Amino acid sequence: MEGKKSCSWDDWVGEALSKLQSTKLLRSLRPITLSTEQPLPSMLAPSLGHDYEVFDEMQPWDRSSVEVSVSEATFRNWLLEAASVGEDDSCSGGGVEQRAGQFKKLLLFSGNDYLGLSSHPSIGKAAAKAAQDHGMGPRGSALICGYTNYHRLLESCLADLKKKEDCLLCPSGFSANMAVMVSVGSIGSLLATSQKKPQMEEKIAVFSDALNHASIIDGIRLAERQQTIEVYVYRHCDMSHLSSLLSSCSLKKKVVVTDSLFSMDGDFAPMAELVNLRKRHGFLLIIDDAHGTFVCGKDGGGVAQEFNCERDVDICVGTLSKAAGCHGGFIACSKRWKQLIQSRGRSFIFSTAIPVPVAAAAHAAVIVAEKEAWRRREIWKRVQDFRILTGIPITSPIISLVVGSEEKALRASRYMLESGFHVTAIRPPTVPSNSCRLRVTLSATHSVDDLKKLTAALSRCISLEAISSHNNNLNGYARL
């Protein structure tokens, strides 16, 4: 390989790692083994999951994932749109038992707990046992002392789920995207022939969907500060526009980054077309599968599994705070990319690792999500039920009902609140002005009766018929 010019991402990452190695800046993860009375689950059962209790159908506790309560004081202030920093009279004494009559029960249609796993007893027991055995575990960044055998077990499990060589845990999905994008940008500086900054031809071209999540955008902005990348924003899911930008870009190193399932619009990235473009242009493909992991695909492997293109995705970012019902983020990738990100990803390097009980709970969630496949079947049944009840051809559990102005969105949200539904108005800066909306999310633990009541209430405050008959270019529901 000596003297041969690098021409692929695998080569470039390898070169970057060699540079870090030569300057003694390559960082290592060395798990601290926490002693336990019982071996960890993978040691008990090589096939994973036999030690976690799973169920064949919904249980009574599952409803707690979609049924919530707010105090009457909070409820009144919400209706009045009164500013709040979280204060609540119900928290200032008396106790829940004494003040039970002062709470308003709501049906939650705005969360991201798509499978209802946040209330699963096996996940709670895994967290409780780890807390009893180890407390919160060593507190420090993963590179110092926060990385344990529990974290390593979870990483291995997620790598298997995503069909990747390895995986890196992060404190959140937001920090995971930040770490990935900053690490991509670092390749430009590591391979630059000049010590000051890379020449134009040495820079990296990053192509980003216009509606990517804020964490991707912020990661790109931070990477731009390194003066190593050139950013191209392509129109949302517009593969013709992306193809044109790729073809006209003379830079050798190209990256395409996109949400797989868009959080505010509920539509999927055109994975098949992205894969075809990847074959033609040889770019690095990064997807943020936060809303697809555990929900999509036969085994819950996510959007790439759903579209049978797992091997064509180079880096898959995900979260454990949505369908897993826990907390934390992860990056499924090759071992080389993992080494680079753990050495250059600032949001990973300088953050405290997730607590051991959270890692234990998330591991249980990965196993339960795979074993209780009925949860995936149920959530997609609810998607179909909503389509039948409203005529709106939604394609995912995320339903974007655009109403326009902030006033309209807030009025509709207040009406839904009065009707007993927790459905919040989404406003700027989350979405652009005049595209305010109600964002409705479905869960496997919602019932058909829940949806009937929801759609009846929605039909009284917004025009579902108008949304249903919306321009076919918007797939029947509004997008920006």
Please check whether residues 360 and 433 belong to one and the same domain: no
Higher pLDDT, 119 or 87: 119
pLDDT band at 90 (very low <50, low <70, confident <90, very high): low
Is the pLDDT score of 95 beyond 80? no
- Rounded to 10 deg, the angle between the 173-190 and 9-22 helix axes is 80
DSSP 76-139: HHHHTT---SS--GGGSSSHHHHTGGGEEEEEE-S---TT-GGG-HHHHHHHHHHHHHHTT---
What pLDDT does 471 receive? 33
Is the pLDDT score of 220 beyond 50? yes
Closest among 454, 450, 447 to 416, alpha carbons compared: 454
What pLDDT does 475 receive? 36
Residue type present at position 371:
K
In a domain, 70, yes or no: no
What pLDDT does 91 receive? 55
Average pLDDT score over residue span 258-270 = 96
In a domain, 247, yes or no: yes
Average pLDDT score over residue span 400-406 = 91
In a domain, 415, yes or no: yes
Please check whether residues 397 and 424 belong to one and the same domain: yes
Average confidence score pLDDT of the chain: 90
Residue with tokens 């190209």: 254
What pLDDT does 276 receive? 98
In a domain, 218, yes or no: yes
Sign for the pseudo-dihedral over CA of 134, 135, 138, 142: positive
Please check whether residues 420 and 366 belong to one and the same domain: no
DSSP 268-293: B--HHHHHHHHHHH--EEEEE-TTTT
Please check whether residues 279 and 386 belong to one and the same domain: no
What pLDDT does 3 receive? 44
Burial of 101 (0-12, 13-18, 19+ CB in 10 A): exposed
In a domain, 109, yes or no: no
The percentage of the chain sitting over the pLDDT mark of 90, rounded to a whole number, equals 77
- H or E segment and range at residue 41: helix 41-44
For residue 106, the cross-strand partners are 68
How many whole angstroms separate alpha carbon 427 and alpha carbon 406?
6
Please check whether residues 149 and 246 belong to one and the same domain: yes
Average pLDDT score over residue span 437-464 = 95
How many whole angstroms separate alpha carbon 75 and alpha carbon 413?
12
Domain with residue 141: its CATH number is 3.40.640.10
What pLDDT does 37 receive? 59
Mind listing the pLDDT tens digit for each residue in 409-435? 999 999 999 999 999 999 998 888 888
Please check whether residues 259 and 201 belong to one and the same domain: yes
Average pLDDT score over residue span 39-56 = 60
Name the domain count of the chain. 2
In a domain, 108, yes or no: no
For residue 329, the cross-strand partners are 170, 319
Phi-psi region of 475 (alpha: psi -120 to 50; beta: other; left: phi over 0): left
Please check whether residues 215 and 271 belong to one and the same domain: yes
Domain boundary among 371, 392, 425: 371
Q: Residue 306 contacts by C-beta under 8 Å, 6 or more apart in sequence?
A: 292, 296, 297
In a domain, 161, yes or no: yes
Domain with residue 470: its CATH number is 3.90.1150.10
Please check whether residues 329 and 459 belong to one and the same domain: no
**Other beta carbons less than 10 A from residue 207's beta carbon:** 22
Please check whether residues 220 and 363 belong to one and the same domain: yes
Closest among 309, 180, 319 to 255, alpha carbons compared: 180
Domain boundary among 341, 371, 401: 371
How many whole angstroms separate alpha carbon 382 and alpha carbon 451?
8
How many whole angstroms separate alpha carbon 209 and alpha carbon 211?
5
Mind listing the pLDDT tens digit for each residue in 61-81? 899 999 988 888 888 888 888
Please check whether residues 26 and 142 belong to one and the same domain: yes
Mind listing the pLDDT tens digit for each residue in 235-246? 999 999 999 999
State the residue range of the domain holding 386. 374-474
Domain boundary among 371, 395, 419: 371
Please check whether residues 342 and 426 belong to one and the same domain: no
What pLDDT does 430 receive? 86
Identify whether the C-beta of residue 331 lies closer than 8 Å to the C-beta of residue 167. yes
* pTM across the whole model: 0.90
Please check whether residues 196 and 330 belong to one and the same domain: yes
In a domain, 87, yes or no: no
8 secondary structure, DSSP code: S
Residue type present at position 161:
L
What pLDDT does 470 receive? 47
